[in-house]
Amino acid sequence: MPIASDPSSDTESPDDEQAVPMLACHRLSPRPCVNQALVEELKPLREFRFLRYGTHAKESISYATAVSCIIGTPFKIETVEQAAKIPKVGEKLTLKIQEFLEYGFIKESRYAKANELYERGVRTLEDLRRAMNRKRIDSYLKYYDDLQEKIPRSEVESILAFVELQLNRIKPGFKTLLCGGYRRGKEFSNDVDILITYPHRDGEERGVLQALVERMQQKNLIPEDGILTLTTCGTDRIITPNRSATLLDALDKALIIFRHPANGTTRVRDKYRRVDLVVTTWREWGSAVVGWTGSTQFERDLRRHAKRIDLKFDSGGIRDRTTDEPVEAVTEKDVFRVLGLDYIPPEMRNADP
Ligand code: OXD
Ligand code: MN
Ligand code: MN
């Protein structure tokens, strides 16, 4: 594995030429991967655990990590022995893989797929759980059908164009980047993740998110109950530097429901789409890009990797764990370099099914 340059990256059997690194930031995760059929079969089992235990429970995370290791396995798994050597793949999962190798499917997975909860859409239930107050749940339900739909790349781009049009009216000179699944090359996204900054002009971004959201509301591009979360910690931190100076991931964020107008398109009616607007200083741009590109497991493993080398990573920046001092990394490549990692292109960060 050329990517496993970090000596601290543990593999199940370091002598084995085919050993799979434990962390997603030490390996490549393409979509589709060579074991995609197996991954598809394991996906409902993984999502069933998310539902049963919650996304942050260790039962869920260990399963997700095992599936992620299978995604990062560069060779086709053809024997039980190969499966058993993959990091995090325990006895029970090995048996499931054996079943898959013999029959081409996993019985329990088919049951899980047929499960009513699964049919209702894990993503939305998760979103609902995340949505902590009643108002948010209500607005979610109102736009439920639209929000269930996956968003094609062309529409993601069209939504960015709408946002840029508004930004141009507020303060030109910005730079945007579509992150999330779109940046990792997915044909269809669950939502639209837009990062915004002002290159080389730290401070220019201050207050921009608030202005953007207000403008979009005035234009009726965000329904009345369409702001799920609005935090302006980044701006607040700049205005009052000492109060929350150690806050990590203190980016300005608006998680909204966007009304995507139908006029000028072939659609017969407007559609409601989930959009995340994230404003960052130029200084934190690299970390924000890495943090908002995902996938979830990739980010989780990146944080674990950073911890091992006594750093703290998240989309708000990199810090020294001991001194809490920020470590500079303006570009995405800087982030990988500072973390002592080989650069992994976004389309190789698909560490979740
Ligand atoms: C998505 C993603 O699909 O970010 O929205 O993965
Ligand atoms: Mn996304
Ligand atoms: Mn998002």
Considering every ligand atom shown, identify the ligand nearest to the alpha carbon of residue 254 and give its number: 3
**Quick one: 161 and 78 in the same domain?**
no
Per-residue exposure over 200-212, b if at least 16 CB sit within 10 Å of its own CB, e if not: eebebbbbbbbeb
Asked if pLDDT for residue 100 goes beyond 70, the answer is yes
- Domain hosting 101: range is 31-131
- The residue among 131, 157, 189 that closes a domain is 131
Number of independent structural domains in the chain: 3
Report if residue 286 sits inside a domain: no
User: In ligand 1, which atom is closest to the CA atom of 150?
Assistant: 3
Q: What is the pTM of this model?
A: 0.88
- pLDDT given at position 131: 47
Is the model more confident about 259 or about 110?
Answer: 259
How far, in Å, from the CA of 190 to the mean position of ligand 1? Answer: 5
Ligand 1 centroid–CA 240 distance in Å is 33
pLDDT in tens, 212-251: 999 999 999 999 989 998 998 888 776 655 544 444 567 9
Q: Which of 29, 43, 126, 190 to mutate to test the pocket of ligand 1 (most atoms within 8 A of CB)?
A: 190
What was the pLDDT predicted at 235?
80
The whole-number pLDDT of residue 266 equals 81
- Which atom, in ligand 1's list, is nearest to the CA of 184? 6
Query: What pLDDT is recorded for position 52?
Result: 86
83-97, 115-129, 206-220, 280-294 — which is least confidently predicted? 115-129
For residue 212, is it within any domain? yes
Same-domain pairing of 186 and 300: no
Q: State whether residue 254 is helix, strand or coil.
A: strand
251 and 176 share a domain?
Answer: yes
Query: Minimal CA–CA distance to 141: which of 231, 234, 228, 236?
Result: 228
Highest mean pLDDT range out of 26-35, 140-149, 316-325? Answer: 26-35
168 and 274 in one domain? yes
Comparing 33 with 131, which gets the higher pLDDT? Answer: 33
CATH at 166: 3.30.460.10
Q: Examine the domain organization and report whether 234 and 325 are in the same domain.
A: no
Q: If you measure from the C-alpha of residue 191 to the centroid of ligand 3, how many angstroms do you get, rounded to a whole number?
A: 5
Catalytic residue list:
96
Name the residue at shortest CA distance from atom 6 of ligand 1: 181
Least confidently predicted of 107-121, 183-197, 333-347: 107-121
Amino acid at 228: L
**163 and 267, same domain (yes or no):** yes
Nearest protein Cα to ligand 1, atom 5: 190
Residues 325 and 230 in one domain: no
Q: Say which CATH number the domain at 315 has.
A: 3.30.210.10
Please check whether residues 82 and 188 belong to one and the same domain. no
pLDDT of residue 9: 47
Q: Within this chain, do residues 43 and 116 fall inside the same structural domain, yes or no?
A: yes
* Most ligand 1 atoms within 8 A of CB, residue of 68, 148, 159, 191 to mutate: 191
Measured from CB, residues less than 6 Å from any atom of ligand 1 are 180-181, 186, 189-191, 193, 294
Q: Across all residues in the chain, what is the average pLDDT?
A: 88
Query: Where does residue 10 rank: exposed (0-12), middle (13-18), buried (19+ CB within 10 A)?
Result: middle
pLDDT of 51 above 80: yes
pLDDT one-digit tens code per residue, 164-223: 999 999 999 999 999 999 999 999 999 999 999 999 998 899 999 999 999 999 999 999
Whether pLDDT at 338 is above 60? yes
What is the Å distance from ligand 1's center to 113 Cα? 21
